[in-house]
Structure 1
Amino acid sequence: MPVRVVDSSAPSQVSGANPSHTSPPACTLLSVGQAFSGTQNVSSLQKDEAWRVNVRIQGCDLDHGYLCGTMEALNVPMADTPWVIQVVTFWEGEIVDMKNYTFFTGKWEATVGKPFPLMVVLSIVNRSEVDTRHWTKFPSFSPLLSQVEVDGGRSLDLSNYPYIFMRWKEQYFVNVGTDCGLTIAGFYYVCFSCSDGSINGFYYDPNSSPFQKLELKITNEGRSGFSFSSYELQ
């Protein structure tokens, strides 16, 4: 949530994913009500700055590559004022499973060229330089890179991979108005560790400071949230 007010755009499903692939591993650490805490580095050329961040999973549907939750940024400075505020946003996520979503974003100003055609092999650089630069910042992506370069990763089976790759897109502000001085125009590239529940991410918005790093650890807070049968946000 870097400083710059821009309207958000709603997510849409990436086309061309392979329906034969299975879902990522069921991970008890990535489930409704689970909480995470850490920081987001929002440093710019003018100053070094990091915000405390809390995240809670409010919904998770691995079969459809979907999850959602809330993100709370603490002690965020208000634009042109001495005050600080807590900003809560609601986000929706896409799980890279090669069934519902691929490593190629294809939207949110993160794509180069047209959507990846099924019958044409392109390099990952030609497909999306933005995607390449961000995914390769995760060491856990390195073993997958060569296959992604060959066929976009469509032959990969991520069902037993110890990491889950996602994109998180903030949809709206929960407790403040759009005039709060922050933007949710961008989105996060996210890597989740199934072994310890740690989350690393990088925020992308072409109009904000690049590679703002999100680092979260799982917490032991009590769980709360909604299931897909009730849709009740708590």
Structure 2
Amino acid sequence: MPVRVAEASAPSQTSGSNGGQTAPPACTLLSVGQAFSGTQNVSSMQKDEAWRVNVRIQGCDLEHGYLCGTMEALNVPMADTPVVTFWEGEIVDTKNYTFFTGKWEATPDDDIRHWTKFPSFSALLSQVEVDGGKSLDLSNYPYIFMRWKEQYFVNVGTDCGLTIAGFYYVCFSCSDGSINGFYYDPNSSPFQKLELKSTNGERSGFSFSSYELR
């Protein structure tokens, strides 16, 4: 969603740089067509505010550490209609992507500050500080870490008063399909929290519009 401008067991380590890693666990809850619903807290010093958010995965390629989808914000005060964006994601698998972002104005210190907000990351911290986690084997870790970067607005123009300049640090739970994330953009309120739960088992209570992606 665009934003206004303003305990698991320890993973094993593999020998050598990038040697022997396999893809993250193949979670059935992280696949094409899966839907999630929840909120993003966009509170600032001026006021408390949260947007209702729906996410649907449109593509997923674990081998190459890639996924993509749409994000729909339902109650954005300055918008007359729900705001939908298309995003692409990087799965931290230590083969295609590490915990260090290396772009989007994020430094390694920014990365550590955001990843450490996830309790499930604590077992990984010491090795990530050394090499971004390149020597970790995450194939059996019960959480999948990702970055989601919004690419464009689907149903509104860029003059809608919102920005998609930043990106999300994301933690996905393989056990229940819950998603937690934190938005990073130096020009927006820090640590805007995204909280989503899988809704595919509750289709009667969840509606998601269809959009043609260009």
Could you give the per-residue CA deviations for residues 106-140 of structure 1, whole angstroms, max 9, x where no partner exists?
Answer: 000002xxxxxxxxxxxxxxxxxxx0110000000
Could you give the per-residue CA deviations for residues 77-114 of structure 1, whole angstroms, max 9, x where no partner exists?
Answer: 117999xxxx0000000000000000000000002xxx
Q: Mark the CA change 1:217 to 1:229 in structure 2 (over 3 Å): closer, same or farther.
A: closer
User: SS at the partner of 1:208?
Assistant: coil
Q: Mark the CA change 1:98 to 1:232 in structure 2 (over 3 Å): closer, same or farther.
A: farther
TM-score (structure 1 length as normaliser): 0.77
The yes-or-no answer on 1:167 pairing with 2:136 is: no
Could you give the per-residue CA deviations for residues 154-173 of structure 1, whole angstroms, max 9, x where no partner exists?
Answer: 11100000000000000000
Which one is further off, 17-26 or 6-15? Answer: 6-15
Compute the RMSD of aligned alpha carbons.
Answer: 7.4
**Contact 1:32 1:225 (C-alpha < 8 Å) held by counterparts:** no
Give the corresponding residue for 1:128: none
Q: Mark the CA change 1:23 to 1:225 in structure 2 (over 3 Å): closer, same or farther.
A: farther
Q: Mark the CA change 1:67 to 1:230 in structure 2 (over 3 Å): closer, same or farther.
A: farther
Q: CA deviation at 1:146?
A: 1.2
User: SS at the partner of 1:179?
Assistant: coil
Q: Mark the CA change 1:32 to 1:14 in structure 2 (over 3 Å): closer, same or farther.
A: farther
Q: Mark the CA change 1:92 to 1:222 in structure 2 (over 3 Å): closer, same or farther.
A: farther
**Contact 1:33 1:225 (C-alpha < 8 Å) held by counterparts:** no
TM-score (structure 2 length as normaliser): 0.84
**Contact 2:10 2:124 (C-alpha < 8 Å) held by counterparts:** no
Q: CA deviation at 1:150?
A: 2.8
State the alpha-carbon separation in 2 of the partners of residues 132 and 225 from structure 1. 37
Q: Mark the CA change 1:201 to 1:75 in structure 2 (over 3 Å): closer, same or farther.
A: same
The structure 1 segments of at least 4 consecutive aligned residues displaced by more than 3 Å after TM superposition are 1-17, 79-82, 221-234
**Contact 2:11 2:124 (C-alpha < 8 Å) held by counterparts:** no
**Contact 2:149 2:168 (C-alpha < 8 Å) held by counterparts:** yes
Give the corresponding residue for 2:102: 106
Q: CA deviation at 1:147?
A: 1.4
State the alpha-carbon separation in 1 of the partners of residues 96 and 117 from structure 2. 23
**Contact 1:191 1:201 (C-alpha < 8 Å) held by counterparts:** yes
User: SS at the partner of 1:178?
Assistant: coil
State the alpha-carbon separation in 1 of the partners of residues 170 and 19 from structure 2. 22
**Contact 2:86 2:152 (C-alpha < 8 Å) held by counterparts:** yes
State the alpha-carbon separation in 1 of the partners of residues 3 and 12 from structure 2. 25
**Contact 1:200 1:213 (C-alpha < 8 Å) held by counterparts:** yes
State the alpha-carbon separation in 1 of the partners of residues 19 and 147 from structure 2. 19
Residue in structure 2 matching 1:142, options 113, 122, 125: 122
**Contact 2:8 2:142 (C-alpha < 8 Å) held by counterparts:** no
Could you give the per-residue CA deviations for residues 156-199 of structure 1, whole angstroms, max 9, x where no partner exists?
Answer: 10000000000000000000000001000000000000000000
Which one is further off, 162-171 or 152-161? Answer: 152-161
Q: Mark the CA change 1:6 to 1:33 in structure 2 (over 3 Å): closer, same or farther.
A: farther
Gaps of 5+ in 1: 112-130
User: SS at the partner of 1:229?
Assistant: coil
User: SS at the partner of 1:140?
Assistant: helix
Q: CA deviation at 1:151?
A: 3.0
Q: Mark the CA change 1:81 to 1:151 in structure 2 (over 3 Å): closer, same or farther.
A: closer
Gaps of 5+ in 2: none
Q: CA deviation at 1:222?
A: 8.7
% same residue: 91
Q: CA deviation at 1:21?
A: 1.2
Which one is further off, 17-26 or 51-60? Answer: 17-26
Q: How many residues align?
A: 211
**Contact 2:14 2:136 (C-alpha < 8 Å) held by counterparts:** no
